[in-house]
Amino acid sequence: MSHGAWLSRMPGQCEVCRSAACAALCPDCVKRFAAPRPRCRRCALPLDQGDVCGECLRTPPPFEHTACAADYGFPWDGLVAGLKFHGRVELAAALAPLLAEATRTLPPPDWVVPVPLSASRLAGRGYNQAWELARRIAAARRLAARADLLERIVDTPPQAELGRAERLANLRAAFHVPPAARAALQGRRVALVDDVATTGTTLREAAAALRRGGAAAVDAWVFARTPE
């Protein structure tokens, strides 16, 4: 389905199947496309057995747990694109409840923090899709959310255009905890929110920056995880 098709939903229709619905996503589509499945507890990669994938056993990430609502693919790729690139900020209200539900088995964080955009990308887009998700999830869970505890100080090329090694080099030293935010992070648990995790590189680098800034523990909350 083209991105343009995602822009034409009528009020009272499901975003996915276009059936009459009282919410943006009907229960049937949620059940079909966002059914819970076994995942690595560290990075949320789908697993057939065990609870930690081989990559996380070999190289544990700087976050303790990852929660995600769905695999990245139809129909979520179109909805995420609408939120991220086509100004459909209202889609955050449709997606956030699914991720909020997926986080309920994890320890409650002191802060819910979005993966930040660079200043230039934020100015161009007009909003940070991760913050739009984070603040709604925090409200649903009655948690505190802040967008000022982590900064992106390097304006990197889009990660989707790069291979794994390039992603690592691209993001090295890209994230920074401002000095004024360090007191708020000391000894705290942080939930780091993003829309999609592909290789997990962005989450690893952002979580590592939060740990360097004083956070005692970081969990990753992502709406969708790209299968291996």
pLDDT tens track for 67-84 = 999 999 999 999 999 999
pLDDT of residue 173: 78
What average pLDDT does this structure show over 22-47?
95
pLDDT of residue 95: 98
pLDDT of residue 21: 87
Percentage of residues in the chain having pLDDT higher than 70: 87
pLDDT of residue 3: 43
pLDDT of residue 154: 80
8-state DSSP, 145: B
CA angle 61, 53, 198 (to 5 degrees): 65
What average pLDDT does this structure show over 5-21?
76
What average pLDDT does this structure show over 48-56?
94
Residue 169 has pLDDT above 70, yes or no: no
Percentage of residues in the chain having pLDDT higher than 90: 82
Question: What structural domains does the chain harbor?
Answer: 32-225 (3.40.50)
Residue 47 contacts by C-beta under 8 Å, 6 or more apart in sequence?
A: 38, 39, 40, 53
pLDDT in tens, 199-216: 899 999 999 999 999 999
pLDDT in tens, 85-118: 999 999 999 999 999 999 999 999 999 999 999 9
What average pLDDT does this structure show over 138-159?
88
pLDDT in tens, 27-39: 999 999 999 999 9
Question: What CA–CA distance (Å, rounded) separates 12 from 18?
Answer: 9
8-state DSSP, 212: H
Choose between 145 and 158: higher pLDDT: 145
Name which of 109, 117, 120 is nearest 145 in CA terms: 109
Q: How confident is the model at residue 228 (pLDDT cuts 50, 70, 90)?
A: confident
The mean pLDDT value of the chain amounts to: 91
Residue 1 has pLDDT above 80, yes or no: no
- End-to-end Cα, the chain, rounded Å: 23
In the chain, DSSP finds a helix count (H) and a strand count (E) of: 10, 6
Q: Where are the alpha helices (DSSP H) in the chain?
A: 3-6, 27-33, 54-58, 76-85, 91-102, 119-125, 129-141, 164-171, 182-185, 201-212
